[in-house]
Amino acid sequence: MKKLLIILIFSFLSFDFASAISDLPPCKGKNYEEYVNCYGSYKDKDYSKIYNQPGLTNNYIGEFGDLPGLSNGKGIAEIYVNGEYDGTYVGNFKNDKLDGLATYIGQNFFSVAEYKLDEFVNGTDFLVEDKIVYVGQYDKDGEWNGLGAVISPDGWTYNFFKNNEIVENNEEQSAINEINHSPCKGQDRSKWYNCTIHKEFFSDNTDDPLYSYNSSISKKYNENFSFSEVTEIYSGELSFFQKKPIFNGKGIVETYFDGKLSLIYIGEFKNGLRSGYGTEYNVVNNSVYVGQFKNNNFNGYGTAITKDHNYVGNFDGNYYHGVGILFTKDKRSISSFRWDEPLYEIEHNVKIDKDVALSCEKKTSYGYARLKLILDKNLNRFTISSKKAEVILSNVVSSEPSEPDYHSNFNVEEILLNSDDYLIGFYRDDELDKNFHFMLDKFSGELKVLELDDINHKYVINPAGNGVLIGYKCKNKLF
C-alpha cells in the first residue's frame, strides 16, 4: 500500500501531448455554438453563471467535440475577470471542463495538474514570489490535501496536508515512510539492492575510498556545468548497476554544486539518471520544469517557468524543439522551434484560400528539372508532377521523351501557415510510403520539400532549408 501511494504522487505526469495542434478540420462559420468535431475559437464567452463568479469570461482556441459549442480535446483557454487578464490554461478539455492534464500560466502562480471534469486530482504548484513548489495531491478545489512535497531554497519536506496546511499532530516521519517503504539494510552500500533510502549522501569524489559506492548521476552534471564538485542527497528507490547502487524508480534528490544547493528534483529515475516524469526546481534561478526527462535532460513534453518567459511544449536535450507555446510579457505564440530558435508561428489547419498553379524548375548538372504544382482550394489537395532533367549532349538537347520520375496525388494533412510570406505544411504520400514537409516562399518563388525521417519531427523544420530534398524556383504564383 505504501508503495502505491508514492506512485500515485507521480502518476499524473503520464499524459498525451496537450498542445494547440490538432488533427481535426477547421470549424466552419462564425457561430461557435454550432462548432462540432472541428478546430476553432471563440472570444468573450460568459462563464459567470457557471462558476458563480461575476465578470468571468473565456477566450478559447482548440478542439470542439460532439456537443455543439463546447470545448472538447486539446486547447488553450484565456481567462478574464471584468475584462482583466487572469491567466491561461493549456491542456485537455471535456465538454467545457478541464479533464486530463492542463498547465495554468498565471501572474505569480503556475500549476501543472491533472483534472477530472474541473476537479483537481494531483499535480505541481509553483508560487513564484514565495519560492515554493508543491508536488502532490489536491482536494477537488485545488487545496493541498493528502501526501505532498514542499520544495524551497531551504530544501524539501514530505508531509500529509489538509487545506494547504500540514496536518497537525502528524509526525513527518509517517509521511517519509511512504518514500522509504523498503529500507536498505546496513551501511555496506555494495549490498543495497532493490530497496529504499532516506537522505543518503552521494558524491563524485571517487578518489576517496569512502565514496567508492556513492557516485550516481553526478558526472553527468560535471560534463554540463562549470563546477569542481557535485554532491547529492537522495531519498527513494535504488537498484544495483555496475557494482554500485544507483537511483532507479521514484525518488527525490538535492544536487549541490561546490557545496551550494542548486537543484531539487522529484520524479522518476532510470539507471541513475532522471528519466521519465518529474519536477525540477532550480534554486539559483527560481525556475521550474515539469514534464518528461531522458538521461537527465528535459526531453519530450513539458512546461518550463522561468524569469523571462514561460513555455509549454516539446523539448529535446533541454532545448525547445518542435511545436510549443511561448508566453512572454507581451504575447502568446504557437511556434515551431529548432534547438531553442523559433522558426515560425503556426496557424493551425489553414485552408488553401485560392487555387494555385505553379510552374517550377531547377538547374542540374544534366540540364533542367521541371515540375508542376497544383493546390486545389476545394479539396485542400496538393498535386506534384515532375519530369527527369533533359539530357544535354554537345549542346544538343535530347529529343527522347522523358518519363515522369515522380507523380503523385495526395491530401495535405495539415497546413501550418499561409501568410503573406510563406505557405508551409506537411503531407503524407501513401504511394511512396513517406512523409514530407513543404515550404513555398511566395516572394522568391522557391519551393522546398523535405522528407521526414520521423513523423514526430514534422514541426521541427528550418525555413532556411536544411536538408532540402528539392529546391525548385517557381513562377505563375496565383496568391
CATH number for the domain harbouring residue 447: 2.40.128
In a domain, 108, yes or no: yes
In a domain, 16, yes or no: yes
Q: Which amino acid type is present at position 296?
A: N
Q: Which of 175, 197, 230 is the last residue of a domain?
A: 175
Residue 1 confidence (pLDDT): 34
Taking 80 as the threshold, does the pLDDT of residue 17 lie above it? Answer: no
Mean residue pLDDT of the chain comes to: 78
Mean pLDDT, residues 21-40 taken together:
85
Indicate the pLDDT class of residue 459, thresholds 50, 70 and 90.
Answer: low
Q: Which of 127, 158, 175 is the last residue of a domain?
A: 175
Cα angle, residue 127 at apex, residues 124 and 131 outer, rounded to 5°: 110
Exposed / middle / buried, residue 299 (Cβ in 10 Å: 0-12, 13-18, 19+): buried
Lowest mean pLDDT among 218-227, 259-268, 308-317, 376-385: 218-227
Grid coordinates of 254? 538535492
Residue 224 confidence (pLDDT): 54
Instruction: Compute the distance between CA of residue 171 and CA of residue 458 in angstroms, rounded to an integer.
Output: 51
Lowest mean pLDDT among 123-137, 254-268, 318-332, 337-351: 337-351
Instruction: Compute the distance between CA of residue 160 and CA of residue 238 in angstroms, rounded to an integer.
Output: 24
Residue with cell 537543484: 263
In a domain, 247, yes or no: no
User: In 10 A of CB 15, how many CB atoms?
Assistant: 18
In a domain, 237, yes or no: no
The fraction of the chain above a pLDDT of 70, given in percent, is 73
Instruction: Compute the distance between CA of residue 90 and CA of residue 60 in angstroms, rounded to an integer.
Output: 10
Q: Which of 175, 205, 222 is the last residue of a domain?
A: 175
In a domain, 239, yes or no: no
Indicate the pLDDT class of residue 310, thresholds 50, 70 and 90.
Answer: very high
**pTM for the whole thing?**
0.77
In total, how many domains does the chain have?
2
In a domain, 222, yes or no: no
* Contact criterion met (CB below 8 Å) for 195 and 186: no
Tell me, what DSSP letter sits at residue 210?
G
From residue 324, give the alpha-carbon distance in Å to each of 14, 102, 128, 177, 445.
18, 14, 22, 39, 28
Between 65 and 296, residue with greater pLDDT: 65
Q: Which amino acid type is present at position 68?
A: P
Mean pLDDT, residues 307-334 taken together:
86
Residue 478 confidence (pLDDT): 45
In a domain, 196, yes or no: no
Indicate the pLDDT class of residue 92, thresholds 50, 70 and 90.
Answer: very high
Instruction: Compute the distance between CA of residue 82 and CA of residue 55 in angstroms, rounded to an integer.
Output: 4
Could you list the residue range(s) of the whole structural domain that residue 138 is in?
A: 2-175
Residue 340 confidence (pLDDT): 79
* Contact criterion met (CB below 8 Å) for 96 and 71: yes
Mean pLDDT, residues 353-361 taken together:
73
